[in-house]
Amino acid sequence: MKQTTETVGNMSTRKLKREIRQKLADQRYNEITDLVSSSSKVGSSLMRLLYDKEPVICHRAALCIGLVAGVEAKIDLEKVRGTLRRLLWTMNDESGSICWYAPEAIGEILVNVPEMLDEFGNILPSFIKEEPFERGTYYALWRLVTSYGERFSSLKIAFKLALSASDPAIRGYSAMALKALGYQSEIKADELLAGVGAEFDYFDPQRGEVIRERLGSICQT
């Protein structure tokens, strides 16, 4: 049964969160963005789902936070700015509730709301060596590179240095970012594979799933 504006608007926070989580599980993202016009609690429900026990739900919540921000930006850009500030706050020790998936969510917002790039685009790189956000930050930067290309070309050196990181996921995201920037020839297989682990798991936004990728395959043309 199609939910009416009144039904969604009167839904409790807990019930709305359950409803949205089910839609994330089913990858019904459009149904989540459709709720924005009828409830002001959609964004906050998605924020709570960044703490879900299932990583794939956390990733999909981050993806949808970006999609919802894209809708909200057409109505109230200040609301998007507020969401970005709240996410950054959860990356602060003083917040009392560290959100590991905040970098991914910030990246998705910037992918969908380019108007926020000038203000927030240079903040993310500052977390590439900040525990526990390193992996999520490199993921977010890879997403931004795939969307905006040369705008983030200044990160080339950081990506190249990260090819020898101990975390295979960081090596993988850096290699994919370099590849997206057109620096495929500068990805050396012996350097990329020198660390521990020849594979890494990452969330593919197109498929909406966490998939396993071989680091060696990134080197291939």
Q: How far is the C-alpha of 17 from the C-alpha of 21, rounded, in Å?
A: 6
Tokens of 6: 């009144």
Tokens of 187: 């990805």
Residue 3 has what pLDDT?
Answer: 52
Q: How far is the C-alpha of 144 from the C-alpha of 122, rounded, in Å?
A: 11
Residue 6 has what pLDDT?
Answer: 41
Q: Where are the domains of the chain?
A: 1-122, 131-221
pTM equals 0.92
Phi/psi at 17 (nearest 5 deg)?
-60, -45
Amino acid in position 190: D
Classified as helix, coil or strand, 130 is coil
Residue 23 has what pLDDT?
Answer: 98
**Dihedral, CA of residue 119, residue 125, residue 130 and residue 133, to nearest 10:** 80
Report the b/e string of 166-186 with b at 16+ CB within 10 A: ebbbbbbbbbbbbbbbeeeee
Q: What is the pLDDT along the chain (221 residues), one digit of tens a residue?
A: 445 444 555 577 889 999 999 999 999 999 999 999 888 889 999 999 999 999 999 999 999 999 999 999 999 999 999 999 999 999 988 877 799 999 999 999 999 999 999 999 999 999 999 999 999 999 999 999 999 998 999 999 999 999 999 999 999 999 999 999 999 888 887 777 776 778 999 999 999 999 999 998 887 75
Q: Please say whether the beta carbons of 190 and 202 come within 8 A.
A: no
Q: Which value, in Å, is the radius of gyration of the alpha carbons in the chain?
A: 18
Residue 4 has what pLDDT?
Answer: 45
